[in-house]
Amino acid sequence: MKSVFTVTEKDLYDALIDTRYDLHVTDIADVSRAEAYLKKLYGKDVKVAGGEAYAEGSDSLFKPRYSDGDLIHVMRRLTGEGGCPWDRAQTHESIRKNAIEEAYELCDAIDAGDVDGMREETGDILLQALFHCDMAERAGEFDRLDVVDELVRKLVTRHTHIFGEDKADNEAEALDRWEEAKAKEKHSETLESKLARIPDTFPALLKTQKTVKKLKEAGLELDVPEADVKDVLIAACGALKSGADLEPDLIKEVNALSSVFFSGKIKKLSELK
């Protein structure tokens, strides 16, 4: 006998519905909204009668609309016994670059205002997250539920102005509350420990921007002439001409800047040798 999931309309829109199973919705007040949502979930018309609706689920892999449950089911099939040889052979390390590439492709779609592309690339990023969860579960490291638990806990504990007693009247104050809560969680009230958490795997320019911003907050004087982007490009080309490998070399230099600043050897950027 197929399982039936029962939910009130009030909870329907927030519930994680697995459309492989039948759904019984009760206490429906907004008929048109409920019918539209159920059609989006199941890919077919579901009529409301007497304040209730029944939607018949399907575990077929060929149906008009898929759900979260289908995604997890397909992933387990691909990586399980008798699944896809390529998927089963992957490791965290072997697909590491995929997460970076998919993130860049999403950014490209956002910059282009390509909504269809954004939908597709967001799905590709979701796949990477689910892939790592699946591999970790098979290795006994963690599973999808652990990831969700940690994520929700982070959202709650860092929004102290929503779920706690702190106040934030604007975007800047909200960001301050987030950073304060994050510092407490990470036990990293010092600037040095915050800088240590900026990954060397960041693109060099992004790491430089984040590092210099934090050093400036700590008192580093940026007493150098202003430059536009063309000046930066010319300087980069000059470094390339001299044989520099820009990505690792820039990361090395910005890490060195942090070290000499905290050693007290320099207070101004112009003092950097």
Helix H, strand E, coil C: the string for 75-131 is HHHHHCCCCCHHHHHCCCCCCHHHHHHHHHHHHHHHHCCCHHHHHHHHHHHHHHHHH
Q: How many CB atoms sit inside 10 A of residue 250's CB? A: 18
| Placement of tokens 């159920």 in the chain | 38
Is 187 part of any domain? Answer: no
Is 120 part of any domain? Answer: no
- Bridge partners (DSSP) listed for residue 26: 8
Is 207 part of any domain? Answer: yes
At residue 268, the pLDDT reads 85
- Single out the residue in 13, 32, 55 at which a domain terminates: 55
At residue 218, the pLDDT reads 83
CA–CA distances in Å: residue 13 to residues 3, 26, 111, 199 = 20, 13, 30, 38
Identify whether the C-beta of residue 7 lies closer than 8 Å to the C-beta of residue 15: yes
pTM of the model: 0.78
Is 13 part of any domain? Answer: yes
Structural domain harbouring 250: 201-271
At residue 97, the pLDDT reads 93
- Bridge partners (DSSP) listed for residue 131: none
At residue 271, the pLDDT reads 84
- Single out the residue in 55, 81, 97 at which a domain terminates: 55
Is 219 part of any domain? Answer: yes
Is 267 part of any domain? Answer: yes
At residue 188, the pLDDT reads 59
Is 170 part of any domain? Answer: no
Residues of the chain under the 50 pLDDT cut: none
Quote the CA–CA distance of 29 and 53 in Å, as a whole number.
11
Q: Which two structure tokens, joined as six digits, stand for 185? A: 């969680």
- Single out the residue in 32, 55, 78 at which a domain terminates: 55
Total number of domains in the chain? 2
Is 179 part of any domain? Answer: no
Q: Which two structure tokens, joined as six digits, stand for 122? A: 């967001």
Quote the CA–CA distance of 157 and 102 in Å, as a whole number.
29
